[in-house]
Structures are given as structure tokens and as C-alpha cells.
Amino acid sequence: MSRIGKKPLPVPKGVKVQLDGRSLTVEGPKGKLQWEHRPEVAVTYDEGAQTLAVARKNDEALSRALHGTTRAVMQNMIVGVTQGYERRLEIIGVGYLAAVLGQVLQLRVGYANELQVPIPEGIKVSVPDPQHIVIQGIDKQMVGHFAASVRALRKPEPYKGKGIRFLGEPVRRKQGKAMAK
């Protein structure tokens, strides 16, 4: 049995949970998230104890795999509506910079043209200085996906380390051909 899946999930004060069939709605101070879980697992909400529980319907491999995953997704929803999620990116390179104009993230990262990245609904992007980008939101998957897609526009290269990287991400550097002699 899944060690993560069998733990009951406590619901903090100020968070409303609504379970309608397979649809789970979590509403908190930061916003509202809705998710539909898979039919291989059953989710129950105990209003007295303020806990969510996940049980699998059978012992097949897919059900076992979804058992812990379902609980983890529900926990991410609760953390998202109470605290929110944040990813920080840094831009390394001479002349490389970022700016936010309305609902568009503008990036100058060494290409001939400036990159225009539309910011999706539910995501807040701020640029405290031209070399740092802060991405915030209540949906962990959406925040991580947008951060990864921005990073993919100019991945850090291994020789000089220039590009967009997550804050604190180590970049493995190579020596280059001048050091080979």
C-alpha cells in the first residue's frame, strides 16, 4: 500500500473543500482550484475531522500508481490556495534582460529579435530587476510549466554559462578547446 496515499490529508482553517462525484474543488484565501480525479481511486472528505482520504478500488498496478499521486495532487491544491507557489529565474549574459509589459513577458536573450511570451491566466509574473524573473500562482503544475517554458527559450550553455536558469541551478561548465592544448 502507498505510504503517501494512505495518510489522511488535513485541511487547514479557511479552506473550503467540495467533493462532487469525481470533481474536487478547493477554495482558499488565494483562490479556487478544481480537479477531477481518476476513477481508479476514491476520495472521501470527513467534515468533522477536516481531512481528505484516498482509497484505491482494486490492487492493479495503475490503481496503486494513482493512489499516492492523487493524494499529492490534492495536497498541492491545498498548499496552492493557502500559500501559493513561486519559481524564480535568473538571466545571465551581457545585454540579456527581461521586462513585463501588460500580459506579455519580453526577453532579450541574444537573439536578433526580442522574444514576446504571453503570460497565461492565473499566473503573475514580476521582474524585480532586469536579470531576475519571479513567477507566482496557485497551481503548482501551471507555475512550473510556465517557468520551464521560459527557461527553454534560452537554456544555459556550458561554456560561458549564458542563458536563463532557475535561481541557484548549477550549470556544469566545460573547459573549451583552448584548455585542451
3-state DSSP assignment of residue 31: strand
Q: Taking the complete model, does pTM exceed 0.85, yes or no?
A: yes
Bridge partners (DSSP) of residue 32 are: 27
Second-level CATH architecture of 9-82: Alpha-Beta Complex (3.90)
The answer to whether the CB of 86 falls within 8 A of the CB of 143 is yes
| pLDDT of 105 higher than 70 | yes
Domain boundaries, the chain: 9-82, 85-166
CB 75 within 8 A of CB 82: no
Give pLDDT tens digits for 86-98. Answer: 999 999 999 999 9
Residue 176: what pLDDT?
82
Is domain 85-166 given the CATH code 1.10.1660.10 in the classification? no
